[in-house]
Amino acid sequence: MKAIKENGKKKVPVIAVDERELRSHVSKVVRQSVEETLNGLLDAEADALCQARRYERNAQRASTRTGHYERYLQTRVGTVQLKG
Any idea where the domains of the chain sit in the sequence? 2-83
Q: Which candidate, 49, 81, 82, 78, places its Cα nearest to that of 65?
A: 49
pTM to 2 decimal places: 0.68
Give 1's Cβ-side CA count (13 Å radius). Answer: 9
Element (DSSP H or E) covering residue 48: helix 19-50
- Reported as a single tens digit per residue, the pLDDT across 7-52 is 666 777 778 889 999 999 999 999 999 999 999 999 898 888 888 7
